[in-house]
Amino acid sequence: MIKKTAIIVAVASGLLFAQPASTIDTVLVTPVFLKLIDNSNNIYKYVGKVSYQLVGWSNDRFNASLQIIKDGTGEIVPLTAVKGDGYGKFNRCGWKGIHFRCQFNGPPSGTYRAKVIVEASKSDTAQFIENLISKLSNSEKQTIINGGSAGGVPAVSWQDGPYGDRGGYAYPTGEGMAATFDTAIAEEGGYYKGQDFRGLGHNIMLGPTMNIVRDGRGGRTFESYGEDPFVNGKMGAADCRGCTKAGLMVTVKHYCCNNIERARGNYPVYVSERSLREFYTFHFGLAALEGWATGFMTAYNSVNGIHNAQNKHTITDIIKNSWGMKGFFLTDWDNGGGNYTACALAGLDLPTPNTWVNALVSMMPNTISQAFFDDKARRWLWARYVTGCLAPGYTIQSTFRDSIDNTAHYNYMRRATRKSIVLMKNENNLLPIDRNSGPVTIAVVGTYANDMQWFIAASSQVNPKHHTSVSAAIKKIGGTNVTVTSNYQTADYAVVAIGPVDKGEGNDRVAVSLPDSVENLCKQVISAKPGKTIVFYCGGSCADSGEWSKAPAIVAEFFAGEDHTLAMAEVLFGDYNPAGRLPFTFPADSTQLPRFGIGVPWDNTGLTKDQYEDAWEGRGYPYFDYKGYKPLFCFGHGLSYTTFEYSNLRITP
């Protein structure tokens, strides 16, 4: 066991003020922040906080304590309460905080020191990895970093698919999962998804996608977990945890500030440090801290003039050091920025698809040290270890091959899909439709009435095993009393199944509005069936107001997994009470959205870079609040069939 002590100085004079931050060994500390909260009966009570950072330790067991000590006398100030992720026992490096209460008998004077004592040791996991590293040759370590097998360490096999292996089930997309606001259902899905990948011979998933939805016109909006960094991070972390439990390594992507598809290869982003940390890396940090994400994938764009794959500040300073991420970093496909030495020094652990070959070994000792090289091997070994790859008798497929056609997986998706359905609008309680009192005729029309839009092609493509059209789903769930037709003129109700044209990888939407053909159809149907038209909004991103939003009832889904149309039909008839919430904002019109895109046909500004907004402005709902805009539908909006009222309200002290 080793012991490291961080000491920072605070000067007491009525209130306590801190001196500038200092560095002690590998412990970085910041000032103590204190505030007087009570001085009655001549007892001076303060609340305070100490922040410190543990950097680059191979240890993973820590026990921290705090003392407030008066200079000269050595008097220890009584602490009446202490808590925080940097106090007591914890198992991760990174920035830590300790919140405390202390009190003085009379006004404090003199100089006091906040003393943080950190004891660090290695768990069995860390010790196992260190022992293994000591036995491996540099050549074997290089092979392991490259993804190969050496020294008894198995190779890795990766596959695309943030929401499913292409040969397995199609799970809800990030947006579909985010609409549940349910981390338990996301973690369960990650576990089943992990079983599918393993059963199909893959132990690394190139996902999940956790880019912030900065603008609904982004081509890959549907892949991610919405516009809020906290929700995005919590849901993505839950997915990662589930995958890890099933023995599947993840590579969280696309890190960072990757919010546009067109011209993504040379997309220059400039962003303030506060916005970078609060909006564009915070959710990734949660994946590392709470999801134990085994890996991260860098994006194609640059951040503040430095290519993501070569950016030491974003890779090492923020994720590896500040958040204590223990896994590896690899690039998106063929995305090293042309300088692999710069990538290595920044903290990248593997360029793809071309490996380092023997490049890392050749960099020693002049460019990189043995310890630096070993750190890359350690990260790949840790990822393999926590997913069970280093266990005796390990095989990728193991017993999971039968999971591909497992009823439990399909039943899970039905539950997840139900939870993700959002009832956006329900004027005059049009829904649910009563099909038990007599025959009901329902017209089903629209782009996706009989040919439902499914997941977009390219790296996120999944081929569903079970696929039911909206028309067939309504007929199946409706039963014998329900007749489905395409003639909305004579039907009792009309369902219009429409949605945005989500572009996918490499392309963004030109406009936030729905196509004219869709709007014209909605206008015709609503005119023919006023008060009886239900819009099924199907897609992975938002749309502004139009004829579609004038329908008295709107039910939305966001690529919610196998047979998601059955869940929509269950909501239609009241078999399931909807409880989903929107993971992003729907603008009232396009003027409520700031400029989007750079170097694309609809951007006539002539700008050659994208200056991201300040932290207090934000995007998504923070931007709407900042501007005072009233959106069409708010982030977090969602109705249900439950009615309730408050009565006999009282205010008590």
Could you report the per-residue pLDDT of 142-161, keeping only the tens digit for each? 999 999 999 999 999 988 88
Q: What is the pLDDT of residue 559?
A: 84
Distance from C-alpha of 573 to C-alpha of 233, rounded to nearest angstrom:
34
- Using a pLDDT cut of 70, give the percent of the chain over it: 88
Q: How confident is the model over 495-522, as a mean pLDDT? A: 84
Q: What is the pLDDT of residue 139?
A: 94
Q: Say which residue, 584 or 119, is predicted with more confidence.
A: 584
511 pLDDT tier (thresholds 50, 70, 90): confident
Does residue 192 carry a pLDDT above 80?
Answer: yes
- pLDDT digit string (tens) for 266-323? 778 899 999 999 999 999 999 999 999 999 999 998 999 999 999 999 999 999 999 9
325 token code pair? 């991420």
Q: Say which residue, 242 or 168, is predicted with more confidence.
A: 242
Instruction: For residue 64, report the phi and psi dihedrals to the nearest 5 degrees.
Output: -115, 140
Q: What is the pLDDT of residue 14?
A: 33
638 token code pair? 């969602």
Q: What is the pLDDT of residue 31?
A: 60
Does residue 5 carry a pLDDT above 60?
Answer: no
pLDDT mean across residues, the chain: 86
Nearest alpha carbon to residue 495 among 436, 416, 548: 548
60 pLDDT tier (thresholds 50, 70, 90): confident
Q: How confident is the model over 174-184, as a mean pLDDT? A: 96
Q: What is the pLDDT of residue 235?
A: 98
Strands (E), 372-450: 422-426, 440-445
Span of 15-29, 109-123, 559-573, 639-653 with lowest mean pLDDT: 15-29
Q: What is the pLDDT of residue 23?
A: 39
Q: How confident is the model over 389-393, as a mean pLDDT? A: 90
401 pLDDT tier (thresholds 50, 70, 90): low
Q: What is the pLDDT of residue 348?
A: 95
Distance linking the first and last C-alpha atoms of the chain: 50
The pTM is what? 0.90
Nearest alpha carbon to residue 206 among 256, 141, 157: 157
Strands 158-160 and 204-206: parallel
Does residue 509 carry a pLDDT above 80?
Answer: no
Does residue 651 carry a pLDDT above 60?
Answer: yes
Q: What is the pLDDT of residue 316?
A: 95
Half-sphere exposure of 597 (CA within 13 A, CB side): 21
Q: How confident is the model over 482-492, as a mean pLDDT? A: 97
Q: What is the pLDDT of residue 194?
A: 93
Find the helix or strand (DSSP H, E) in which 413 lies.
Answer: helix 407-420
Does residue 546 carry a pLDDT above 80?
Answer: yes
- pLDDT digit string (tens) for 406-444? 788 889 999 999 999 999 999 999 999 999 999 999 999
Q: What is the pLDDT of residue 56?
A: 67
Does residue 602 carry a pLDDT above 50?
Answer: no
- pLDDT digit string (tens) for 205-251? 999 999 999 888 877 888 899 999 999 999 999 999 999 999 999 99
Does residue 446 carry a pLDDT above 70?
Answer: yes
Q: What is the pLDDT of residue 597?
A: 64
Span of 393-402, 424-433, 627-636 with lowest mean pLDDT: 393-402
Q: How confident is the model over 343-370, as a mean pLDDT? A: 87
Q: What is the pLDDT of residue 609?
A: 67
Give the number of other Cβ atoms within 10 Å of residue 527's Cβ.
11
Full set of structural domains in the chain with CATH: 2-121 (no CATH), 124-154+356-386 (no CATH), 405-627 (3.40.50.1700)
Q: What does the angle CA 340 – CA 344 – CA 348 come to, to the nearest 5 degrees?
A: 105
Give the number of other Cβ atoms within 10 Å of residue 60's Cβ.
21
Q: What is the pLDDT of residue 445?
A: 97
Instruction: For residue 40, report the phi and psi dihedrals to the nearest 5 degrees.
Output: -70, 150
Burial of 366 (0-12, 13-18, 19+ CB in 10 A): exposed
Does residue 337 carry a pLDDT above 80?
Answer: no
> Cβ neighbours of residue 437 under 8 Å, at least 6 residues apart?
none
Distance from C-alpha of 229 to C-alpha of 210, rounded to nearest angstrom:
9
Give the number of other Cβ atoms within 10 Å of residue 439's Cβ.
10
Q: What is the pLDDT of residue 404?
A: 64
DSSP 279: I
Distance from C-alpha of 192 to C-alpha of 158, rounded to nearest angstrom:
17
361 pLDDT tier (thresholds 50, 70, 90): confident
> 360 with 372: CB under 8 angstroms?
no
Q: What is the pLDDT of residue 21?
A: 37
How is 236-256 classified by DSSP, letter by letter?
HHHHHHHHHHTT-EE-EEEET
